[in-house]
C-alpha cells in the first residue's frame, strides 16, 4: 500500500500539481455540493481574503451599464467566512434542473473554483459548471445508453484555400449497422465560437445520445463546423499556436463561410455513410450560426429540407457586398416554393435579437411562407441553445423519404 | 459595425462571461508573453493583493517535505507589482524549447492565469500551459501538415461488464488511402489518468501528425485506453456524472485491466483497417501504464512485437493475486524467446522508480533478454513521457513484415 501511495504522491507532485494538499495537507473541500433538495453549496478556502463572492447564471440577473446602454449580467452573491478560512454560499432555494455555470470573485478578482475540475470555455472566458438533473437537464447528462462517437478531423476547402477542422458526431447505430446510411444535421456556432462550441457548451453528444436512445430523435450525424472563414480551427488547435483569444475574427459574416459550405457537405457525403439528398439534410445554428443557416439554406435551396434559426441574427451588416446576401426576397421565394419540411425559428423573450426576429417573421407571414415558431424565457444564452437543440432534433427526418 | 459590436457584447455577456472588461473596461493583459529571446513575461492584475507568485515547471525545483520524505516540487517565484495593480514576472533566462505549465499563487491561493485560456487537467489539478517552440518542442505544436483525426468512442467489455470509452487517433493517410491497412500503437496512461491523458497532456495528436509528416514515423493508429478497470470513462464523461476527482481508483493494478486487454484489440481490429497481427502491434505506457504494458505483453506473448516502458512501475503490490502477475519468470522467458522486435525501457535519472527499473534491467541482463534503454534527465513528469513518445514512435513498424 505504501508503494501505491508513493506512486500516487509522485503523480500528484508531477507537473505543477499542488494537489498533495488533498493527501497530507488540509482536507479537500466539496464544491459545489448539490444537496438532496437541489439547493447547492459552494465552498472556497481563503483564510486571508476580505471578500469572496460568486457569480453565476442561477443568481438573479443584475443590470450593468455598457456603452450600448443597460444590459443584463449574471448576479453576484456573497460567501460567508466560516472556520478554517472556508467561505461558503448556499443557494436560497432549490435550483431547477439545468446545466449552470459560475465563477468565484475573491477580493474583486475572478477565479475558478479549484474544487471543481469541470469547466467550459465560452469565447475567452473559462467558467465552472455543474448540472442539476431531472426533466430536460437529464438530456445533458452522460447516461447509461448506447454512446455515439465524436471525431475531430480536417477537410480541405478549395475556396478558402486551407485545411479546416470540423467536429463530427456519429450515432451509436452508425458503428453498429455498418450497411446503413444516415441523415445529417449541420450545426453552426455563434460569434466567438468555433467547432468546439456545440460539442462542449452545447452538450451535443449527450443530447443526441439521449434523444436517440429514448427514440425521440432519429439516429443522425451532427456536423459542427468552424464558421470563422479566416480561422483554420479553434484556439490552440491551429497552426497559429496558443494565441490569446480576441473578438477580432475577420470574415465571420461576409459571405465566405456561406459560399464555401457545399464543400463541407461534399466532404461529409464522400467520407461517411450519409443519405446524400435534401430530404436527409438539416442545417441549424445559433446567433451568427442562425444567420449562416438562413443564408446558406436560401442560397442552396436544394440542399437542406430542415432549417433551424436559434436566436438568429438575420440581416447582413451594411456595406457587406457578398452575392450571398443579394436578392434576398427572390431567393427566399425560391426556397419556400420548394416547401422545406421544417423552417423553425426559436428565440427567447429577452434576447437582444428578439425584435429582428419579429420583423423577419412578419416578412415571412406577409409572403405566406410557412415556418414554425418557438418562444421561451431568457435571452441570448447557451441555456436556450441547448433547449432549442432538444426541441429541434426530434422533428428532423421523421417524414418518409 | 455597431450592430456587430452589440452582437459581440451580447456574446460576451452571455453565460457568466465577465470578459466585457476586455471591451470597455481595463485593457486586456497579455500573459504569458513569449519575448523574442524566449524569456517569458507573466502578468496578473490584482490591485488589492499583498503577494502574487508563480509556480511552474520552468522554475528551479524546491524540496518539499512529505510523509514519505523530501520530494522535488516545482519552484515558486514572486511577481512584482507595477502600475495599475498589474503584477509581473519575467524569467531570468530564455527558456529552452518545451511545453511548460504554471499556476499563479495570489495571497497563498492557487489560481489560473485569466489571460491564458490554454489549460490542461492532470488528475485533479488544472494548470495553464504555453509552448516555447524549436527543436523537439516543435513536435508538440499544431503545424501546417496533414492532420489525422481523433475520435472518442465506446466499446463493450464483456469481462468488465461495461461500456468503456476509448480515444483513437487515425493518421491523415487513413482517410486518404481508404484501401490501405495500418499498424496500431496502444498507448496507456498512468495512475490518476484516463483515456484523455495522452491526447491532452501527452500531445499525442500533434506528435504523431508531425512525426508522420516528417517521414520519421510510419502512419499508424494510436489507441488510448482507460486503464482504471472500475471506470467507464474520464471524469465528466461517464454516467457517474460530474463528480469530484479523487485518488481512490479501485481496480487499477490488480489484473482486471490487463486481463481484458484482448477485448480492446479485438474491438479495434473489428472496427478499423488495421493489420491485425503481432508484427503490426505495439504497446507502451507511462508509470502504471508501463506496468500494464509489461504485464500485458508477457501475458499475451503473440500480441505485441513492440513494447515501451516509460518510467514504468514494474512489480505488482504485495497481496495482489491476479493470475496475470503469476509465473513472471516463465512468462518473460516465453515472451523473449519469441524475440520482440523492440523492448524499450526509458526513465529519467531522478525518477522515484529509477531503482526499480535498474533492478528490472539487471534481471533482464542476467537472463540475456534483449532490450533497448533510454535514460535522460528529470523524473516522473509529462515532459519525459512526451519525449519518450517522440523517441519510441519512430522505431515502430520499420521492419518488413
Pick A76 or A248 by higher pLDDT: A76
Both A53 and A182 in one domain: the answer is: no
Q: How far is CA B343 from the centre of its chain?
A: 21
Distance from CA of A148 to the nearest CA of B (A): 7
CA distance A147 to A152: 16
The C-alpha cell that represents B58 in the structure block: 520552468
CB contact under 8 A, B142 and A313: no
Whether residue B224 is contained in a domain is answered as: yes
Both A61 and A181 in one domain: the answer is: no
User: Which of B8, B117, B381 has its CB closest to that of A14?
Assistant: B381
Tell me how far CA of residue B144 lies from CA of A325, B129, B141, B206, in angstroms.
32, 21, 10, 11
Judging contacts by C-beta atoms under 8 Å, the chain A residues touching residue B163 are 144, 146-147
Residue B304 contacts residue B278 (beta carbons within 8 Å): yes
Q: What is the mean pLDDT of residues A283-288?
A: 98
Which pLDDT score is estimated for B249?
A: 65
Sequence-separated (6 or more) residues with CB below 8 Å from residue B177: none
pLDDT band at A15 (very low <50, low <70, confident <90, very high): very low
Residue B254 contacts residue B322 (beta carbons within 8 Å): yes
Whether residue B25 is contained in a domain is answered as: yes
Which pLDDT score is estimated for A2?
A: 47
What's the pLDDT tens digit per position in B340-392?
999 999 999 999 999 999 999 999 999 999 999 999 998 999 999 999 999 99
Both B290 and B339 in one domain: the answer is: yes
Which pLDDT score is estimated for A28?
A: 81
CB contact under 8 A, B15 and A50: no
Three-class SS state of A245:
coil
CB contact under 8 A, A192 and B49: no
- Nearest alpha carbon to residue A13 among B119, B359, B125: B125
Whether residue B242 is contained in a domain is answered as: yes
Q: How many CB atoms lie within 10 A of CB A94?
A: 13
Both A182 and A230 in one domain: the answer is: yes
List of chain B residues with pLDDT < 70: 1-27, 68, 246-249, 400-401
Whether residue A10 is contained in a domain is answered as: no
**What total number of domains does chain B contain?**
2
Distance from CA of A180 to the nearest CA of B (A): 15
**Side-chain-side CA neighbours of residue A382 (13 Å):** 30
pLDDT band at A363 (very low <50, low <70, confident <90, very high): very high
CB contact under 8 A, B18 and A103: yes
Both A123 and A181 in one domain: the answer is: no
Judging contacts by C-beta atoms under 8 Å, the chain A residues touching residue B348 are none
Structural domain boundaries enclosing A88: 15-133
Whether residue B314 is contained in a domain is answered as: yes
Whether residue B269 is contained in a domain is answered as: yes
Share of chain A above pLDDT 90, in %: 83
Residue A102 contacts residue A348 (beta carbons within 8 Å): no
Q: How far is CA B265 from the centre of its chain?
A: 21
pLDDT band at A65 (very low <50, low <70, confident <90, very high): confident
Give the H or E element holding residue A103: strand A98-106
CB contact under 8 A, A18 and B48: no
DSSP state letters, A79-96: -EE-GGGEEEEE-SSPPP
pLDDT band at A249 (very low <50, low <70, confident <90, very high): low
CB contact under 8 A, A55 and B16: yes
Both A329 and A365 in one domain: the answer is: yes
Distance from CA of A244 to the nearest CA of B (A): 7
Residue A4 has pLDDT above 60, yes or no: no
CB contact under 8 A, A55 and B352: no
Which pLDDT score is estimated for B5?
A: 46
Both B114 and B162 in one domain: the answer is: no
In DSSP terms, which residues pair with B345 in a beta bridge? B309, B373
CB contact under 8 A, B246 and A19: no
pLDDT band at A22 (very low <50, low <70, confident <90, very high): very low
Both A126 and A167 in one domain: the answer is: no
Final residue belonging to a domain, choices B94, B116, B133: B133
Final residue belonging to a domain, choices A93, A111, A133: A133
Both A146 and A94 in one domain: the answer is: no
Mean per-residue pLDDT of chain A: 91
Is the N-terminal amide bond of A32 cis, ω within 30° of 0? yes
Judging contacts by C-beta atoms under 8 Å, the chain A residues touching residue B121 are 117
CB contact under 8 A, A72 and B190: no
Residue in chain A closest to B1 (alpha carbons) equals A317
Judging contacts by C-beta atoms under 8 Å, the chain B residues touching residue A153 are 147-150, 175
The pairing of strands B98-106 and B109-111 is: antiparallel
Judging contacts by C-beta atoms under 8 Å, the chain B residues touching residue A288 are 7
Distance from CA of B387 to the nearest CA of A (A): 15
- Most A CBs within 10 A among B8, B16, B64, B137, hence the mutation to make, goes to B16
Is the N-terminal amide bond of B32 cis, ω within 30° of 0? yes
CATH number at residue A48: 2.60.40.10
Both B227 and B114 in one domain: the answer is: no
User: Which of B46, B118, B191 has its CB closest to that of A8?
Assistant: B191
Residue in chain B closest to A272 (alpha carbons) equals B175
User: Which of A15, A46, A71 has its CB closest to that of B13?
Assistant: A71
With both helix axes pointing from N to C terminus, report the angle between B328-337 and B354-367 in degrees, rounded to the nearest 10. Answer: 60
Q: How many CB atoms lie within 10 A of CB B379?
A: 21
Pick A171 or B48 by higher pLDDT: A171
Count of A-B CB contacts under 8 Å: 309
CA distance A133 to A140: 8
Distance from CA of A380 to the nearest CA of B (A): 6
- Most A CBs within 10 A among B4, B15, B25, B239, hence the mutation to make, goes to B15
Query: DSSP class of residue A61?
Result: P
- Nearest alpha carbon to residue B220 among B159, B284, B164: B284
CB contact under 8 A, A55 and B18: yes
- Most B CBs within 10 A among A3, A13, A15, A320, hence the mutation to make, goes to A15
By the 10 Å C-beta count (0-12 exposed, 13-18 middle, 19+ buried), B329 is classed as exposed
Which pLDDT score is estimated for B316?
A: 81
CB contact under 8 A, B68 and A129: no
Which pLDDT score is estimated for B67?
A: 72
CB contact under 8 A, B126 and A119: yes
Strands (E), A271-327: 281-286, 306-310
CB contact under 8 A, A122 and B14: yes
CA distance A241 to B142: 7
Final residue belonging to a domain, choices A102, A133, A164: A133
CB contact under 8 A, B247 and A23: yes
Q: How many CB atoms lie within 10 A of CB B213?
A: 18
Pick B251 or A356 by higher pLDDT: A356
Q: Which of A105-109, A146-150, A281-285 has the lowest mean pLDDT?
A: A105-109
The pTM for the full model equals 0.94
Residue B168 contacts residue B268 (beta carbons within 8 Å): yes
Q: Which of A232-246, A281-295, B64-78, B363-377 has the lowest mean pLDDT?
A: B64-78
Which pLDDT score is estimated for A72?
A: 78
Judging contacts by C-beta atoms under 8 Å, the chain A residues touching residue B57 are 15-16
Whether residue A290 is contained in a domain is answered as: yes
Distance from CA of B22 to the nearest CA of A (A): 9
Judging contacts by C-beta atoms under 8 Å, the chain A residues touching residue B381 are 14-15
By the 10 Å C-beta count (0-12 exposed, 13-18 middle, 19+ buried), B279 is classed as middle
Both A309 and A328 in one domain: the answer is: yes
CATH number at residue B312: 3.40.50.1820
Note whether ipTM > 0.95 here: no
Whether residue A79 is contained in a domain is answered as: yes
Residue A376 contacts residue A384 (beta carbons within 8 Å): yes
CB contact under 8 A, A147 and B153: yes
Q: What is the 3-state secondary structure (H, E, C) of chain B?
A: CHHHHHHHHHHHHCCCCCCCHHHHCCCCCCCCEECCCCCEEEEEECCCCCCEEEEECCCCCEEEEECCEEEEECEEEECEECHHHEEEEECCCCCCCEEEEEEEEECCEEECCCCCCCEEEECCEEEEEEEECCHHHHHHCCCCCCCCEEEEEEEEECCCCEEEEEEEEECHHHHHCCCCCECEEEEECCCCCCCCHHHHCCCHHHHHHHHHHCCCCCCCEEEECCCCCCCCCCCCCCCCCCCCCCCCCCCCCCCHHHHHHHHHHHHHHHHCCECCCHHHEEEEEECHHHHHHHHHHHHCCCCCCEEEEECCCCCCCCCCCCHHHCCHHHHHHHHHHCCCCEEEEEEECCCCCHHHHHHHHHHHHHHCCCCEEEEECCCCCHHHHHHHHHHHHHHCCCCCC
Both A353 and A243 in one domain: the answer is: yes
Residue B191 contacts residue A3 (beta carbons within 8 Å): no
Three-class SS state of A261:
helix
Amino acid at each position: 500500500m505504501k508503494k501505491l501511495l508513493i506512486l500516487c504522491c509522485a503523480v500528484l507532485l508531477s507537473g505543477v500539481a499542488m494537489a498533495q494538499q488533498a493527501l497530507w495537507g488540509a482536507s479537500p473541500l466539496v464544491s459545489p455540493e448539490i444537496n438532496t433538495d437541489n439547493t447547492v453549496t459552494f465552498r472556497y478556502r481563503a483564510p486571508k481574503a476580505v471578500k469572496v463572492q460568486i457569480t453565476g447564471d442561477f443568481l438573479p440577473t443584475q443590470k450593468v451599464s455598457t456603452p450600448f446602454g443597460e444590459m443584463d449580467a449574471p448576479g453576484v452573491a456573497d460567501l460567508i467566512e466560516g472556520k478554517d478560512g472556508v467561505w461558503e454560499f448556499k443557494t436560497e432555494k432549490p435550483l431547477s434542473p439545468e446545466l449552470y455555470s459560475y465563477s468565484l470573485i475573491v477580493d474583486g478578482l475572478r477565479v475558478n473554483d479549484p474544487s471543481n475540475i469541470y469547466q467550459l470555455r465560452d469565447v475567452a472566458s473559462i467558467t465552472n459548471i455543474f448540472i442539476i438533473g431531472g426533466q430536460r437537464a437529464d438530456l445533458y447528462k452522460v447516461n447509461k445508453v448506447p454512446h455515439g462517437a465524436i471525431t475531430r478531423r480536417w477537410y480541405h476547402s478549395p475556396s478558402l484555400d486551407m485545411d479546416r477542422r470540423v467536429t463530427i458526431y456519429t450515432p451509436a447505430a452508425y458503428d453498429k449497422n455498418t450497411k446503413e446510411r444516415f441523415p445529417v444535421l449541420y450545426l453552426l456556432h455563434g460569434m466567438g465560437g468555433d467547432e468546439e462550441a456545440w460539442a462542449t457548451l452545447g452538450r451535443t453528444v449527450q443530447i443526441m445520445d439521449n434523444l436517440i436512445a429514448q427514440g425521440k430523435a432519429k439516429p443522425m450525424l451532427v456536423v459542427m463546423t468552424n464558421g470563422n472563414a479566416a480561422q483554420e480551427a479553434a484556439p490552440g488547435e491551429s497552426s497559429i499556436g496558443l494565441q490569446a483569444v480576441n473578438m477580432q475574427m475577420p470574415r465571420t459574416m461576409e459571405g465566405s463561410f456561406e459560399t464555401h459550405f457545399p464543400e463541407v457537405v461534399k466532404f461529409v457525403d464522400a467520407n461517411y455513410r450519409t443519405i446524400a439528398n435534401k430530404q436527409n439534410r438539416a442545417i441549424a445554428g445559433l446567433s451568427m450560426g442562425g444567420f449562416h443557416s438562413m443564408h446558406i439554406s436560401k442560397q442552396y435551396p436544394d440542399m437542406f429540407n430542415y432549417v433551424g434559426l436559434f436566436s438568429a441574427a438575420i440581416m447582413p451588416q451594411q456595406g457587406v457586398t457578398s452575392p450571398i446576401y443579394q436578392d434576398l426576397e427572390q431567393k427566399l421565394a425560391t426556397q419556400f416554393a420548394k416547401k422545406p419540411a421544417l423552417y423553425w425559428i426559436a428565440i427567447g423573450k429577452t434576447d437582444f435579437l428578439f425584435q429582428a426576429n419579429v420583423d423577419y417573421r412578419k416578412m415571412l407571414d406577409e409572403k405566406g411562407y410557412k415556418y414554425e415558431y418557438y418562444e421561451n424565457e431568457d435571452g441570448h444564452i447557451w441555456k436556450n441553445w441547448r433547449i432549442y437543440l432538444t426541441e429541434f432534433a426530434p422533428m428532423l427526418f421523421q417524414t418518409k423519404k
